[in-house]
């Protein structure tokens, strides 16, 4: 989701983890790039895998700084670029708990960053 403001100049993304599913990645429209989306999705996937216990409530994760994760395969960045283009072309709409902005639903399997050894060659998925 692209919004005008995230609440601070040093905030690069906000992750909304929902207990019932349908997590939301929120980026600032003015400086959203594929590498920031890569960072946000990587953090979302890692935070979802940190606990085997079910979530008891929704949570909000604020990512400060603008460094992209290291070793993101070129193929994944190409997908992230495609998502960014689709987001920028999407109409504004209201997203529950996140506000109003340009939004697009994306399946988790399409955005899943490659963490396994099979992707060490640059990601061919």
pLDDT digits (tens, 9 = 90+) for 95-112: 988 899 999 887 666 555
CB atoms within 10 A of CB 26: 23
Q: Per residue in 37-88, pLDDT tens?
A: 877 877 777 777 776 667 788 888 898 876 656 666 677 778 888 889 999 9
> Which residue do the tokens 């399997």 mark?
109
What is the residue extent of each domain of the chain? Answer: 2-109
- Tell me the pTM: 0.77
d(CA 39, CA 12): 9
Kindly provide the residue ranges of all beta strands, DSSP E only, lying in the chain, ordered along the sequence.
2-3, 11-17, 24-28, 59-64, 92-95, 99-102
């Amino acid at each position: 989701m692209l919004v005008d403001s995230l609440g601070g100049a040093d905030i690069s993304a906000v992750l909304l983890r929902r207990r019932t599913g349908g997590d939301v990645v929120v980026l600032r429209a003015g400086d959203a790039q594929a590498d920031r989306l890569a960072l946000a999705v990587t953090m979302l996937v890692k935070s979802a895998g940190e606990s085997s216990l079910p979530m008891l409530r929704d949570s909000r994760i604020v990512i400060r700084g603008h460094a992209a994760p290291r070793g993101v395969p070129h193929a994944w960045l190409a997908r992230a670029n495609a998502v960014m283009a689709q987001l920028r072309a999407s109409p504004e709409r209201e997203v529950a708990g996140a506000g109003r902005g340009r939004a697009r639903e994306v399946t988790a399997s399409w955005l899943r960053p490659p963490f396994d050894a099979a992707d060490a060659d640059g990601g061919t998925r």
